[in-house]
Structure 1
Amino acid sequence: MRSLFFVRKDRWLVCSECLFASSSKQQEMFAELWRRAEMAIRRSTIAHVLGASVLALTAASVAQAQDTADAEDVAALDDNIIIVSAEFRDTNLQETPLAITALTSEALESRSLDNVADVGRSVPSVTLRVASAGYGKSTQAYIRGIGQSDFNFALEPAVGFYVDDVYHASLFGSVFDLLDLERVEILRGPQGTLFGKNSIGGAVRLISQKPSNELEASVKGTYGSYERLDLRGMVNLPLIDDTLALRVSGASKQRDGYVDRVDFACANPDQAGNLQPTVTSGDCTVGTLGGESVRAGRAALRWTPDTAVEVNLTAEIMRDSSEGAADSLIHISPTTALNNYNANKLVPTYGIPFDSRFVTDPYVTYASYRDLSNGRQVPATNTMNSESFSGDVKVHLSDSVTLRSITAYQRFSGRFTQNADNSPLPIALTDNNVSFRQVTQELRLQGEALDGLLEWTTGAFYFDSKAHIRGGVSLPASGPNGIVFDQNDQVDGENKSAFVHAIVHPTDRLSVTAGVRYSDEAKTYRFDRTNQPSGTPFFAGGAFTAPEATFDRFDYKLGIDYQWTDDLMTYAQYSTGFKGGGINPRPFTPASAVPFGPETLDAYEIGLKSEFFDRMVRLNLAAYYSDYTNMQLSANGMDNLGNPSIVISNVGEATIKGLEAELTLNPAPAFVIEASGSYTDFEITDLGAAAGVSGGPTLDSKAPGTPEWKFNLGAQYTAEIDGFGSLTPRFDLYYQSRVFNEYTNNPLAAEPGYTVANARLTYDSPGEDWSLALGVTNLFNKFYYVNRFIQAGGYNFTGQPSRPREWSVTLSKDF
């Protein structure tokens, strides 16, 4: 048996068992394992030496069974190594020169994180939250002060969502369930040169479990507060040994609402004026908001006819028939328009004005979801149906060159309604019935050259989308005669791009990264709206198509990193990114339906990744500075005729500075402490055309969705009990400072800082084939608003109240 020599940092290592380690990935894997053996020797602990030897022998047997091993094999052998693919190649997290956080499926479960919006709590400089009722099934994502809150398809997300490297182009439909995931990666800072489309703020990547060649299955059930009942299951079937495997997973989630809908006239007859109750007995409750009813399924087929070809086919389906999103009235600020409407319409007709009598307990709303002025009634609903199909083909053209093709088709639709005044009076009622479909195609050619001196990736990306926004808007309090219309708008988008990315290793320790991407985008918007009940065109002249928004752009990246020791790496980089332009989606005259251009970002970052004391301490730091230009600002208000005026335009510049830290401590093998923190300084330096606009932003305005300070702390300890199994208590604490929700920084629409705690106790059986967990979220029952919103007209403020303290019991079984 011959030995295989390979270099690792500054020394040559010999592995006599590595006969079959012919690929560079395998060489890296064996090098890592061999380094563990050296660490064990330094510790002079027999148990560690034996453990490292077992790892090496296990790796050798894996190599003999499979000629090409993925880097995930390392992660399977050592839990302390986190493998990521943020640069389209599998690398150790600690050797990846990016600000990136990766959470495995086990980490997500231990923190009681149920959907992608929950994940942001554990990541510095990141805010992920479920949108307010007016924006439907959307995740509002902000990274390092840059984000997007509006679901409308005319607008682009600032943070890209990717599911198995398939780009998701809309905020709507982005409340992803964490179904059968391997891990979640969150990349901070612009990802303009590698990732599919417009990830100016960063990227959220969900990586699913792939089918394997082992027969396995699992089932999990959860019961908890508000009659919560979750069921999840998975089965992995090897259809043809080492060639074809099928993995099927499914989930069902059911939970009652936590905000009560109450009939105002029934509960408050002395304040109801001429309003008549719809119920006359009991507690006057007519329903709830915030309830969930979701079904989802996923099937993945993996075909590996030989070592050079891998084909993954995936189909996903979701049916979400949830009730209306939680929403309640926070405050009413009288304006001239509201006072006139109260005096001229509401009081004469209904005997009462729209005033603070409708502001009540935040877990109660008086929303009736009907407009008494015209008879329009809508259900309190927040639904989403989706289907996604993708094909991922990877072909090793040679030992050093790989071609990958990712083809995907997605479609989703849903309906979400909001009674924005949270009262039975005719003020504001919206009904959004939306649909979206997209086709994406990405080709990547990736390889190595010059004996590993150069790693390169090049490729092309194509995106095509078509969206419809139907339903209607009822704003009887707006304008001299009110505004009530049905809509049938259509939004089309297209993106074509090409990129080149290269990493050069002049020495074993030094790496230089460079990349460039060219993007060409176009977007059109056809407005088709009809006044109700008259049936006349909303716009003079009828339906029309706004001027097309078109633009192209080059983005760049240049970085350098140096591995000072096996456990210490520093890096510096410059990168650019952009958020695509669009068309003002809510004009009240054709003249307001104008295009706006892309936002742009120039970002500078330095970072450190380190481990100490034989990896008992892991500390990662990042500092960044960004120039943010052509900011897309939205102004909501009233024009001189009393009509709502909503305009989006490119105005202003800002600088963003920040610090991030992530710390992991392993003081004992069974004890882990995790902490992270961030500081974000967002400063507007130029308002451009927005300077001096009444009710607009100022130079002191801070970015929405972005706390200045953010921290999280988690700790867990696994106590092994002979013959009994193990008990693992875990405690998590999350803090964020004050958050504004729009650029005017209105204090009534700002959320003060708050702290939330979760706790979980897990029992694992001796064979680790089943477990029982008790979890409590919002342990100290802290109240806060997930988000706040100033409704059109500027006189009423609504918000999504936080979920109260909730408990759950989860039983899991592996087969």
Structure 2
Amino acid sequence: MKQQKNKHSCIALAVAAALSSNFAIAQEDTSSEDKVAGLEVIEVTARKTTESLQSVPVAVTSIGAAQLSENGIAVMTEIQRFSPNTTLQTSRGTNSTLTAFIRGVGQQDPLWGYEPGVGIYIDDVYMARPQGAVIDLLDVERIEVLRGPQGTLYGKNTIGGAVKYVTKPMSGDMEFNIEGTVGSYSQQDLKITGQVPLIEDKLYLGFGHAELSRDGFGEFLISALDGQDKENYNKDLSASRLTLEFRPTDDLFMRLAWDKTDDDSNAKGGYRLLPSLLTDAPVPNSVFDSYTSMPTKNTVELEGISLVVDWQATDDLSLKYVTSSRESDSDTNIDFDNTPLDIFDVPAIYDDENTSHELQANYTGENFNIVGGVYFYDGESCGHFDAILGFLGRAAFGVPGLTREVTGCNNSESKAAYVQSSIDITEQLSMTLGARYTDEEKDAYVNNGLAFENVYPEDGWIPGYERGGVSFPQVLGSDSDGDGVLDAPKSEDWSRFTPRIGIEYQYDDNTMFFASYSQGFKSGTFNPRATVNEDAADPEIVDSFEIGMKKDWNETLRTNITVFSLDHEDRQYITVTPDPDDFTVLNQNLGNIKGSTVDGIEAEVTWVATEELTLDFALGYLDGEIEDDPSIATPLVGLSNTPEYTLSIAANYTLDTSIGYFVFNGGYYYRDDYLLFEDSDALKQDGYGTLNASINWESIEGNWYAGLHAKNLTDEEYMVGGYNFVGMDDDGNYTPGLGGDTTLIAYYGDPRTVHFTLGYRF
């Protein structure tokens, strides 16, 4: 096995070295009059200043508005196929919860209190929670994927990388755009965007609204509750955005933005990979069919407001202030066992609020430039879930039901100061030096208790339910008066200095070599499922080394390469063990394990073969290994959500005709085998590939446009999430787990779909 892995590594390195590419496909405008032969000059803000992609010594993929439109991409998770070694997938349970991994680093559990390993940003505003992070794209200019730790400029919780959603700036003209989409599973989408100049050349109002709906890919075959919507994997979402931009002078810019998203899609039901032992729930015929004993109601609400003030103080100095306030609420029903019996049901409520402030300065000198700033974040992340094991309670104790109820908060206050400078040593040689100091304080409490009845987070959810006098003690906190009773949240603080050092050599106008060392920092945290008064887990640290080359060989071929190695230390990990005194409880202790190492390569190429034909190729390879740790009873078998290979091949062909401008594109995306959980191979997805194709048209005048998009043409079935509550005997047979059933559940990515979009703009 080791020899074969080494062989794969050599092959990948050889291929990547030959290609040495960077997938650079973003474009600024969709109108045909701006289409020109040759490579695009792509601007990004990966280092918090506007630069050409080819001059940035960072592994970054930028996907522009035109490319998104031409591929019919409507949601952020589809971006993963353009960026190597990247996983962006819809998590289990809801349509809006994100699972994000880059280079094998991320966060698998979306429960409140756990910090992500990949930062999501909307116009430089940090989205702290995975709930609602599966963003539907509205009025977007480009999306940037920054791979590797971004601990200097972006701070904590970017140990894997960052994904930046950049909205379109206003042109100052009156604009209006309306588009409608119809497609498979009765898809019906409507998007309206535009802008209105309120004061000529000074004040502009931008707006956007989307109504997105689709029937389910499957259905709940049996529901214990009459009158429930039995569609599974459906979509019912609305999103709105208002933006006010003010330019009182040429040197001063202000933008006030508000956005809101309401997702009322049903809770997702998982696919039973094993038939139930306790009730009538065989393996369904379709991976999108399920069973449930719960309401299918599910709600995710997001709302935020932000203010940006950008002042060009002098020709060399600019100052920028960014502040935001965001909140989200989720009310969801997750049926872990996916049967019509209350074997393992988890209704849950999540409630998050946060504010942030950032003051940034950008100075350009004769032989250097410098970016620095201060950052403040204050967030409260709370939740309440009930793990209902009603069947077990009735069978084992003869009581009406059984519930493990957990509620609590993890609150965080973080302050940071950062600086990064690029210094020209000679005309060709430069150096990057960066540092960030972060100081964070976090407090948390957990109420955890057992009730011998079925209880729910909200009274009246089940007709006739009354709470009764059930006590839920606080198990995570402090005992200030020494009476043995926990009476205050438990608190911890951490501080960390994270450096970055790099060197860049501009061999000629079109060739840059670079090498860098950077460090990322992920917050320490408390266990939101604590059953005892335990200490917080320490922060995670990632040390990363990169060597790369970016080169435009001529006006038609762009080839770049990045080779990287990272050491992921003190990884936070939950050990799950049965309670020897109470078989209704799984003790879940949060701590740190030694870590993991990942070595890999990312190769991407763009070739403008002719004036009409462009070919793109992207390859990601990584070799990840988790260090042995005797403190873990069950050895970890591999990195979760991390395939060894990712591969993307795409072609784009343009055609001018007397009736308009056509763009034909097609692409193939491959993901190698990967595990959904690190401690078991029971949920392992075999390698698979998806094939996509699109035809786009734009009128000669540029006002009408249309697109026909087909995705996953071969109708591949692939897992993106799941639950594993089964045991295994000495003969390799599955045995019942928590709840007394064989609960092995998978959630799947979208099946084959076709949709048609027609739009008009002026």
TM-score, normalised by the number of residues in structure 1: 0.80
Instruction: Tell me which residue corresponds to 2:480.
Output: none
- Please say if residues 628 and 635 of structure 2, whose CA atoms lie closer than 8 Å, have aligned partners that are also in contact: no
Deviations 1:172-215 (A, max 9, x none): 12111111010000000000011143210000000001122122
Q: How far did residue 153 of structure 1 move?
A: 2.3
Instruction: Tell me which residue corresponds to 2:421.
Output: 502
Instruction: Tell me which residue corresponds to 2:660.
Output: 725
Residues 688 and 501 of structure 1: CA distance in aligned 2, closer, same or farther (over 3 Å): farther
2:682 partner SS: helix
Q: How far did residue 411 of structure 1 move?
A: 0.8
Q: Find 2:175's aligned residue among 191, 211, 216.
A: 216
AA aligned to 1:104 is G
Q: How far did residue 526 of structure 1 move?
A: 1.8
- 2:645 paired with 1:684: no
Instruction: Tell me which residue corresponds to 1:367.
Output: 292
1:108 partner SS: helix
Q: Distance in 2 between matches of 1:791 and 1:113?
A: 35
Q: Find 2:747's aligned residue among 800, 803, 807.
A: 800
Q: How far did residue 636 of structure 1 move?
A: 3.3
Q: How does 1:596-635 map to 2 (within 5 A)?
A: 596-612=537-553, 614-635=554-575
- Please say if residues 293 and 342 of structure 2, whose CA atoms lie closer than 8 Å, have aligned partners that are also in contact: no
Instruction: Tell me which residue corresponds to 2:189.
Output: 230
AA aligned to 1:137 is S
Q: Find 2:651's aligned residue among 715, 719, 724.
A: 715
Q: Find 1:460's aligned residue among 361, 374, 381.
A: 374
2:282 partner SS: helix
Instruction: Tell me which residue corresponds to 1:672.
Output: 614
Instruction: Tell me which residue corresponds to 1:595.
Output: 536
Using the TM superposition, name which of 789-798 and 475-484 deviates more: 475-484
Instruction: Tell me which residue corresponds to 1:60.
Output: none
Q: How does 1:420-499 map to 2 (within 5 A)?
A: 420-449=336-365, 451=366, 453-476=367-390, 483-499=402-418
Instruction: Tell me which residue corresponds to 1:661.
Output: 603
- Please say if residues 406 and 529 of structure 2, whose CA atoms lie closer than 8 Å, have aligned partners that are also in contact: no
Instruction: Tell me which residue corresponds to 1:580.
Output: 523
Instruction: Tell me which residue corresponds to 1:121.
Output: 81
Higher-helix-fraction structure: 1
Query: Once the two structures are aligned, what percentage of the paired residues are identical?
Result: 28
- Please say if residues 571 and 592 of structure 2, whose CA atoms lie closer than 8 Å, have aligned partners that are also in contact: yes
AA aligned to 1:500 is V
Instruction: Tell me which residue corresponds to 2:15.
Output: none
Q: Distance in 1 between matches of 2:113 and 2:35?
A: 41
Q: Distance in 2 between matches of 1:749 and 1:487?
A: 27
- 2:98 paired with 1:139: yes
Residues 548 and 540 of structure 1: CA distance in aligned 2, closer, same or farther (over 3 Å): closer
Q: Distance in 1 between matches of 2:669 and 2:198?
A: 45
2:171 partner SS: coil
AA aligned to 1:258 is F
- Please say if residues 769 and 813 of structure 1, whose CA atoms lie closer than 8 Å, have aligned partners that are also in contact: yes
Instruction: Tell me which residue corresponds to 2:702.
Output: 768
Q: How does 1:535-554 map to 2 (within 5 A)?
A: 535-539=469-473, 545=488, 547-554=490-497
Flag the structure with more relative contact order, 1 or 2, with Cα contacts below 8 A and sequence separation at least 6: 2
- Please say if residues 296 and 333 of structure 2, whose CA atoms lie closer than 8 Å, have aligned partners that are also in contact: yes
Q: How far did residue 493 of structure 1 move?
A: 1.0
Instruction: Tell me which residue corresponds to 1:160.
Output: 119
Runs of 5+ unmatched residues, structure 2: 1-33, 454-467, 476-484, 727-736
Q: Find 1:256's aligned residue among 192, 201, 215.
A: 215
Runs of 5+ unmatched residues, structure 1: 1-73, 265-276, 334-341, 343-352, 370-378
Q: How far did residue 807 of structure 1 move?
A: 1.1
Residues 302 and 196 of structure 1: CA distance in aligned 2, closer, same or farther (over 3 Å): farther
Deviations 1:671-697 (A, max 9, x none): 11111011111012342522xx1xx23
Residues 810 and 558 of structure 1: CA distance in aligned 2, closer, same or farther (over 3 Å): same
Q: Distance in 2 between matches of 1:244 and 1:629?
A: 49
AA aligned to 2:602 is E
2:685 partner SS: coil
Larger Rg: 1
Q: Distance in 1 between matches of 2:596 and 2:725?
A: 26
AA aligned to 2:604 is E
Q: Distance in 2 between matches of 1:79 and 1:621?
A: 17
Residues 522 and 688 of structure 1: CA distance in aligned 2, closer, same or farther (over 3 Å): farther
Using the TM superposition, name which of 395-404 and 731-740 deviates more: 395-404
- 2:684 paired with 1:750: yes
Q: Distance in 2 between matches of 1:408 and 1:77?
A: 41
Q: Distance in 2 between matches of 1:237 and 1:321?
A: 31
Q: Distance in 2 between matches of 1:638 and 1:530?
A: 16
Q: How far did residue 743 of structure 1 move?
A: 1.4
Q: How far did residue 531 of structure 1 move?
A: 4.4
1:94 partner SS: helix
AA aligned to 2:619 is G
AA aligned to 2:746 is G
Q: Distance in 2 between matches of 1:543 and 1:116?
A: 43
- Please say if residues 225 and 293 of structure 2, whose CA atoms lie closer than 8 Å, have aligned partners that are also in contact: no
Instruction: Tell me which residue corresponds to 1:413.
Output: 329
AA aligned to 2:337 is D
Using the TM superposition, name which of 192-201 and 176-185 deviates more: 192-201
Deviations 1:475-504 (A, max 9, x none): 236686574144442221111111111110
Q: Distance in 2 between matches of 1:381 and 1:680?
A: 40
- Please say if residues 373 and 419 of structure 2, whose CA atoms lie closer than 8 Å, have aligned partners that are also in contact: yes
- Please say if residues 537 and 543 of structure 1, whose CA atoms lie closer than 8 Å, have aligned partners that are also in contact: no
Residues 546 and 741 of structure 1: CA distance in aligned 2, closer, same or farther (over 3 Å): farther
Q: How far did residue 297 of structure 1 move?
A: 1.0
Instruction: Tell me which residue corresponds to 1:697.
Output: 635
Deviations 1:24-62 (A, max 9, x none): xxxxxxxxxxxxxxxxxxxxxxxxxxxxxxxxxxxxxxx
Instruction: Tell me which residue corresponds to 2:273.
Output: 330
Aligned residues: 685
Deviations 1:568-627 (A, max 9, x none): 11100000012111011112x224x43101111110000111112x32111111000111
Q: Distance in 2 between matches of 1:582 and 1:174?
A: 20
Q: Distance in 2 between matches of 1:477 and 1:599?
A: 39
- 2:596 paired with 1:636: no
Using the TM superposition, name which of 353-362 and 104-113 deviates more: 353-362
Q: How far did residue 257 of structure 1 move?
A: 1.1
1:107 partner SS: helix
Instruction: Tell me which residue corresponds to 1:11.
Output: none
Q: How far did residue 409 of structure 1 move?
A: 0.4
Instruction: Tell me which residue corresponds to 2:720.
Output: 786
Q: How far did residue 318 of structure 1 move?
A: 1.3
Residues 564 and 497 of structure 1: CA distance in aligned 2, closer, same or farther (over 3 Å): same
Q: Distance in 2 between matches of 1:538 and 1:632?
A: 27
AA aligned to 1:506 is I
Deviations 1:285-306 (A, max 9, x none): 9611111111111111111111
TM-score, normalised by the number of residues in structure 2: 0.86
- Please say if residues 485 and 538 of structure 1, whose CA atoms lie closer than 8 Å, have aligned partners that are also in contact: no
- Please say if residues 445 and 474 of structure 2, whose CA atoms lie closer than 8 Å, have aligned partners that are also in contact: no
Q: Distance in 1 between matches of 2:723 and 2:105?
A: 18
Instruction: Tell me which residue corresponds to 2:19.
Output: none
Q: Distance in 2 between matches of 1:576 and 1:244?
A: 42
Q: How far did residue 726 of structure 1 move?
A: 2.5
- Please say if residues 258 and 326 of structure 1, whose CA atoms lie closer than 8 Å, have aligned partners that are also in contact: no
Instruction: Tell me which residue corresponds to 1:52.
Output: none
Deviations 1:725-765 (A, max 9, x none): 13222111110011111111x22211111011111111221
Deviations 1:266-300 (A, max 9, x none): xxxxxxxxxxx877xxxx99611111111111111
